[in-house]
Amino acid sequence: MFGIRSNVYPPVNVKSLGMAVLLLVILGQGPVVVLNAQGYGANFVIDSLITDKTSYDAGEVVQIWGRVKWTSGTESFQVAARFKIRTPSRPLIDVGRDVWLFVNKGGVGFLRGAWIVPKGAEKGSYGIYVCAWVATSSRIVYNRRVVSTIASFTVRSGDLQYPSESWRRIWYVYSDSPADPWVQFLDSTEDGSDLNFDSDWGRGRVKYGLADKIGSVSSRIVSIPPGSWTFTVGGDDGIRLYIDGELVISEWEDQSYATYTYARTFTTAANHLLRLEWYENEGDAHVSFDMRQSGSAHDGPEI
């Protein structure tokens, strides 16, 4: 699933690099990284291609800007641009088209595009390709002076992260199908430092204004001392728990809030990876996690 943003801007005459900086500030982005841009053309060149970061997670928006210089001539031009992404193993994906660049003779203009990294995007280096076509002020003339350029970035997506200080939660819109639950990435968050938690939203909003059709994948690493431990998870609706990648509790269905336990004896102290998946379909929403040494009234372990 690709999110495509096409931006059509009104005609503007942009003549200085200072305006480029101003434009980027207006766009409200953080650190800007100039990547390995290159281009060619008879009288104009894409001399920079810019993203706000060099690596991204699934669901993040890759903002792309290019700067184009027109080096000679007396005409006033528009440039139509098409943005494409080449993934590590797939051919070019057309991710958007932009028609808004206006270049007077000897001037500077700008391109802008955006792409949302899809859930499940493969890890690796991606290339952004921009093709631009000069147009007259009244109509676009494709294939007249083609310019291309490339920049690269890395996608981190697909990797669950296991912080030691908190749970990391990846939030999704739930699809109403337990077999293929996640239809849209919402956000990833670091949610507090409490290992054991009990989140009961009732019929209220869970997050992002959503009271229904929402779910999360929570993950963290925890150091577990030797001994017998009981893991208790609760869900309204579906819940499942993985320890070190092994599915140990699976109650992945619509249900009223219920808790389930799993016990394991650890013989040595070691770090273990926890992953808790949960979804809320409709009605009440509730999720909980608890781990403690068997027979202990204390939350465990010391972390």
Q: Return all residues near 258 (Cβ < 8 A) that are at least 6 apart.
A: 234, 235, 236, 251
Q: Is 127 in the site for Ca ion (CB under 5 A)?
A: no
Q: Is 221 in the site for Ca ion (CB under 5 A)?
A: no
Q: How far is the CB of 178 from Ca ion (least distance, A)?
A: 13
Q: How far is the CB of 259 from Ca ion (least distance, A)?
A: 15
Does an H or E element contain 197, and which?
A: strand 197-202
Q: How far is the CB of 281 from Ca ion (least distance, A)?
A: 5
Q: Is 237 in the site for Ca ion (CB under 5 A)?
A: yes
- Helices assigned H by DSSP within the chain: 17-26
Considering only residues 245 through 264, tell me which ones interact with Ca ion, judged by CB under 5 A: none
Binding segment for Ca ion among 14-22, 38-46, 115-123, 284-292 (CB under 5 A)? 284-292
Site string for Ca ion, 66-95 (x = CB under 5 A): ------------------------------
Which is nearer to Ca ion, 14 or 285 (by Cβ)?
285
CA distance 32 to 63: 10
CA 34 from centroid of its chain's CA atoms? 21
> Residue 177: what residue type?
S
Q: How far is the CB of 253 from Ca ion (least distance, A)?
A: 11
Binding segment for Ca ion among 29-37, 82-90, 130-138, 235-243 (CB under 5 A)? 235-243
Which is nearer to Ca ion, 174 or 231 (by Cβ)?
174
| Total chain residues near Ca ion (CB under 5 A) | 7
Q: How far is the CB of 140 from Ca ion (least distance, A)?
A: 48
CA distance 244 to 140: 56
Q: Is 283 in the site for Ca ion (CB under 5 A)?
A: yes
Among residues 285, 287, 288, 289, the one that binds Ca ion under rule CB under 5 A: 285
CA distance 83 to 3: 13
In 3-state terms, what secondary structure has residue 254? coil
Question: Which value, to the nearest 10 degrees, does the dihedral of the CA atoms of residues 189, 192, 197, 200 take?
Answer: -60
CA distance 280 to 253: 10
In 3-state terms, what secondary structure has residue 181? coil
Which is nearer to Ca ion, 121 or 217 (by Cβ)?
217
Q: How far is the CB of 190 from Ca ion (least distance, A)?
A: 24
Among residues 176, 187, 191, 212, the one that binds Ca ion under rule CB under 5 A: 212
73 phi-psi bin (left φ>0, alpha ψ -120 to 50, beta other): left
Q: How far is the CB of 212 from Ca ion (least distance, A)?
A: 4
Binding segment for Ca ion among 122-130, 181-189, 222-230, 281-289 (CB under 5 A)? 281-289
Q: How far is the CB of 288 from Ca ion (least distance, A)?
A: 14
Considering only residues 192 through 211, tell me which ones interact with Ca ion, judged by CB under 5 A: 211
**How many CB atoms are located within 10 Å of the residue 150 CB?**
17
Q: Which residue has its beta carbon closest to Ca ion?
A: 283
CA distance 234 to 143: 60
Q: Is 236 in the site for Ca ion (CB under 5 A)?
A: yes
Q: Return all residues near 78 (Cβ < 8 A) that are at least 6 apart.
A: 11, 99, 100, 101, 102, 103, 134, 135, 136, 137, 140
Which is nearer to Ca ion, 70 or 174 (by Cβ)?
174
Residues at the interface with Ca ion (CB under 5 A): 211-212, 236-237, 283-285
